[in-house]
Amino acid sequence: MNSTRHRRPSLLLSLSALLVLSVGAVPFASAQQVGPTNGSLIVAGGALSDPAVFARFVELAGGPSAPIVVIPTAGGGDSYDQYFRRRRPFEAAGATDITILHTYDPAEADTDAFVEPLLDARGVWFTGGRQWRLADSYLDTKVHDALWEVLDRGGVIGGSSAGASIQGSYLVRGDTRTNTIMMGDHEEGLGFLKGVGIDQHLLMRNRQFDLIEVIRAKPELLGIGIDENTAIVVQGDRFEVVGQSYAVIYDANATLDSGGLFYFLAPGDRYDMAARQAFRPSRGESAMQRVTGTPWPPGR
């Protein structure tokens, strides 16, 4: 298995500014492949309890009988054998084939025996904790390769909290000392979203200003913050906000009427990460506003 082709291409806002619907495109971004070519991602902001999000994950994996792998390594527990608590949301969504996969040893993660449950998986979910544990265990191993293969065959990779941040190419809050350091001793994620840094628990933990530090230091990055019990569903370079709160876009190159560096997207709003442009479905319609003339999701 070789996924090098994937992994190495490598203030205060007024209420009226909370829902900006269109942002000027960044010239270099239009040629950038941000999301995976195949498959889907679900990136959740933590404390996820909305059953509709887990149901969407199971649906994207292929339905109740689809093989699903749950990776709880970010949690830092001594052992995760069968880890029934982490299985429950997927079982409640109808999933019947669930495997727990865990190691802290990257040498073990780089073996054929360990990676075997991923070879047939149609869905993989990373639970919360500290995202650097996932990087230490799985980055540049056969597990990493197998995760790309899940997407290549049209499957879905999801995760909440730490399991959200690890999906970006830039690892936000990746410091081993504390989760308050935005740019720490681990800065490389699994890279399913290229040129993206992801923060979580955004509004509930009053983190809405924290990603500004990252995009000012690395203005080429797109920052995405996601509040609790909320997720983005990614297909190609576009995503839809689902759940109960907001996703927030951070773009150092955008010019907003408010003069700020970030703006909010509500559930149902859509965003094109390559064009760096947001859309709202027309009132009373289920389809995306055809501002660009491109249907959502891609290919429909």
Beta carbons of 154 and 121 less than 8 angstroms apart: no
Query: Token digits for 22?
Result: 């269109």
- pTM comes to 0.85
**Per residue of the chain (300 residues), what is the pLDDT tens digit?**
444 434 433 333 332 333 344 433 333 334 338 999 999 999 999 999 999 999 999 999 999 999 999 999 999 998 876 566 778 999 999 999 999 999 999 999 999 999 999 999 999 999 999 999 999 999 999 999 999 999 999 999 999 999 999 999 999 999 999 999 999 999 999 999 999 999 999 999 999 999 999 999 999 999 999 999 999 999 999 999 999 999 999 999 886 655 678 999 999 999 999 999 999 886 543 333 333 333 434 433
CATH class of 37-244: alpha beta
| C-beta atoms surrounding 295 within 10 Å | 11
Q: Which pairing describes strands 247-251 and 238-243: parallel, antiparallel, or unpaired?
A: unpaired
Can you list the alpha helix ranges (DSSP code H) found in 139-210?
A: 142-152, 162-165
**Which residue in 136, 238, 134 sits closest to 193, CA to CA?**
238
What are the two backbone dihedrals, phi and then psi, of residue 93, each rounded to the nearest 5 degrees?
Answer: -85, 5
Cα–Cα distances in angstroms (integers) from residue 186 to residues 90, 126, 132, 139, 162, in the given order:
30, 18, 6, 11, 13
